[in-house]
Chain A
Amino acid sequence: MNKIIMYMLCFTIYTIVFLFWGKNGFKKTNNARDFCVAGNSLGLFTGVFTFTATWFSAVSMQGVTGSVYAYGYSTILYSVVGWLLGASCLVFIAYRIKEYNIVTIPEYFKIRYNSKGYQAFTGLIIVICYILYIIIQIKGFGIVVSTLLDIDYNIAILLIYLFVVYTSFGGLFSVSKTDTLNFILLAAGIFLAAFFIINDIGGITLMHEKAAAIMSKVSPKYNITQGALLDPSANNLFSPLMIITTGLAWGLGTAANPQYIIRITATKDRKTGIQMVCLSAIILGILYVGLMIIGIGSRVLVPEISSINSVDEVLPYIINSKMALNLSGLVFISIIAAAISTANSELLILASSFSYDIYINLSQKQISDEKFLGISRITIFIAGTISLLLSIKPPEILLIYGSYVWSVFAVSFLFPLYGGLYWKKATKDGAIFSSIGGILTIAIFYILEVTGAYSMILHPVFPGLIISCLLFYLVSKATYKKTGDAS
């Protein structure tokens, strides 16, 4: 059978199953709590599936695999290790956040700091950051579908838009249901691909021995020296400072990321939330081992790919050129599943934040459940369309671009969130100064880097976090003494 027909067939079957699987969510969603946190009803397994599928995005599937292919195991230090360390911090959130009975993360800020303005401000950060981050998922999906179905990139990205908008309309019930399907598909795709590659090379030891000898360029853009694939710093290609601070950006961005925290609040009780985070981290670790094998093994099988423009295109190329017909169809669907399962979660949180934390909060009036759902769905449509339009000219490397977006969450949410839960002297002013100071610091470093006034030796999140932490502590201390306004 022709490969394109095979991909088309897999894609059609996936679409039919996906539509059927996700439709029940619409019936269950009647109000804001149903829409945003699935009525706080998630059990352990549904929670683990939705947490893991949301986590596992195009950045993981294509970004990590492609970067491991290009730079080797050093990639794991500044991405995966950082993410999983961030998940460790989420355990602290899981211990306390359920006490607040919230629908959105900005609502927590409102309750804790007694400020509707801060709720709206943090809601706005969520809206902007997720519009920018969804571009990653759209680009990841677009690259795969356009490469494998041999269609134009712009038509390909329109397809994910339809999938994502469809599931997000049904709220977290719908998203978590389709996440279960997507998790099964992506896990199956990763393990089968890893098994195929190991089998083709002749074992893990042989794979490493062959990888150690590689010193070729992936393409004219990406060059490494011999042995770099197996070296923790890719033979000094990345400085330890850069590896640590980029890992910090990802890790603390994960620790303060609303898409994971909202899943903790959506679980049925505190114990389930804690277990969900712990079990998900272990499952994710196992999945990343599969991606490492795919990345290094692909480099051994195909040491150079002259036709790619970025490392994110490596996986689609390998699927199309090296894998057996039946297997390539499943791996193709697993990449699509990864992109959709993350994008719909982000679009849902974005819409919840706009309608709940900005519109209802600032308009100061009660609205019916029907109107809330209507506004949320219109927001999904508009925000999804903005992300789609921005994806026409996407960023070059998903893994680096994503770390910038995540770093905004790290510097603006981290200290107000954790400080609010664990430090009684944290105040509204401290939280506001911390968020604004952190964002401004990142913006200044970013502008300096773009204008060439500063060469990036460490990730901007590092100075951003220092400023954010200092402002949170000092301003809270000063204002707590003065007003004692901590709740």
Chain B
Amino acid sequence: MKVNILIMGLPLNTLIIVGGLFVLSMFLPTIIALILKYLEDKKQ
């Protein structure tokens, strides 16, 4: 039998796929900016 793990009523696979990608995309500009800054500082 397939058991669905729920977190706040939301299936785990939805939380990981939709929620995970959503949170990642939300913070990705900041992550990229920090990486670029690090690379730039390293170059100098």
Interface residue A417 (Cβ < 8 Å from any Cβ of B) = no
* Max chain A Cβ within 10 angstroms of own Cβ: one of B25, B30, B36: B25
Give chain A residues whose Cβ lies under 8 Å from the Cβ of B21.
77, 81
| Least distance between B37 CB and chain A CB atoms (Å) | 8
Contact with A along B23-36 (1 / 0, CB 8 A): 10111111011001
A207 x B18 contact (CB < 8 A)? no
A229 to B, closest residue via Cβ: B14
A91 x B36 contact (CB < 8 A)? yes
Interface residue A325 (Cβ < 8 Å from any Cβ of B) = no
Interface residue B3 (Cβ < 8 Å from any Cβ of A) = no
Give chain B residues whose Cβ lies under 8 Å from the Cβ of A231.
11, 14
Known contacts A77-B17, A212-B9; is A90 also within 8 Å of B22 by CB? no
Q: Which of B11, B13, B26 contacts A282 (CB 8 A)?
A: B26
Interface residue B5 (Cβ < 8 Å from any Cβ of A) = no
Give chain B residues whose Cβ lies under 8 Å from the Cβ of A230.
10-11, 14
B22 x A81 contact (CB < 8 A)? yes
| Least distance between B15 CB and chain A CB atoms (Å) | 9
Q: Which of A80, A92, A205 contacts B22 (CB 8 A)?
A: A80
B35 to A, closest residue via Cβ: A91
Known contacts A73-B18, A92-B32, A232-B14; is A204 also within 8 Å of B8 by CB? yes
Known contacts A76-B18, A231-B14; is A274 also within 8 Å of B33 by CB? yes
B22 x A285 contact (CB < 8 A)? yes
Give chain A residues whose Cβ lies under 8 Å from the Cβ of B30.
278, 281-282
| Least distance between A257 CB and chain B CB atoms (Å) | 15
Main SS class of interface, A: helix
| Least distance between A39 CB and chain B CB atoms (Å) | 25
State the CA gap A282–B11 with chains docked (Å): 24
State the CA gap A275–B23 with chains docked (Å): 18
Interface size class of A (residues with CB under 8 A): 35 or more
State the CA gap A76–B25 with chains docked (Å): 11
State the CA gap A40–B18 with chains docked (Å): 37
Give chain B residues whose Cβ lies under 8 Å from the Cβ of A3.
none
The total of Cβ contacts below 8 Å across the A-B interface reads 82
B9 x A206 contact (CB < 8 A)? yes
State the CA gap A205–B7 with chains docked (Å): 8
A82 to B, closest residue via Cβ: B25
B18 x A208 contact (CB < 8 A)? no
Residues facing B in A285-302 (CB within 8 A) are 285, 288
| Least distance between A64 CB and chain B CB atoms (Å) | 12
Interface residue A314 (Cβ < 8 Å from any Cβ of B) = no
Known contacts A88-B32, A278-B30; is A285 also within 8 Å of B23 by CB? yes
Interface size of B in residues (CB-CB distance below 8 Å): 21
Q: Which of B9, B22, B33 contacts A209 (CB 8 A)?
A: B9
Interface residue A87 (Cβ < 8 Å from any Cβ of B) = yes
Give chain A residues whose Cβ lies under 8 Å from the Cβ of B10.
208, 230
B25 x A77 contact (CB < 8 A)? no
State the CA gap A211–B9 with chains docked (Å): 9
| Least distance between A253 CB and chain B CB atoms (Å) | 15
State the CA gap A211–B36 with chains docked (Å): 42
Give chain A residues whose Cβ lies under 8 Å from the Cβ of B22.
76, 80-81, 84, 285, 288
B9 x A205 contact (CB < 8 A)? yes
* Max chain B Cβ within 10 angstroms of own Cβ: one of A84, A87, A212, A281: A84
State the CA gap A212–B21 with chains docked (Å): 21
Give chain B residues whose Cβ lies under 8 Å from the Cβ of A284.
26
B13 x A90 contact (CB < 8 A)? no
Give chain B residues whose Cβ lies under 8 Å from the Cβ of A81.
18, 21-22, 25
Residues facing B in A88-117 (CB within 8 A) are 88, 90-92, 94-95
| Least distance between A41 CB and chain B CB atoms (Å) | 22
Contact with B along A198-236 (1 / 0, CB 8 A): 000000111111011000000000000000001110000
9 A-B residue pairs with Cβ-Cβ distance under 8 Å, sorted by A, are A77-B21, A88-B32, A91-B33, A95-B36, A208-B6, A211-B9, A231-B11, A281-B27, A281-B28
Binding site for A on B (CB under 8 A): 6, 8-11, 13-14, 17-18, 21-23, 25-30, 32-33, 36
Nearest 4 CB-CB pairings of A with B = A208-B9, A285-B26, A84-B25, A88-B28
Question: Contacts A84-B28, A88-B28, A232-B14 given; 13 further ones with Cβ under 8 A?
Answer: A76-B18, A80-B25, A81-B25, A87-B28, A91-B36, A92-B32, A204-B9, A206-B9, A230-B11, A231-B11, A232-B13, A278-B29, A285-B27
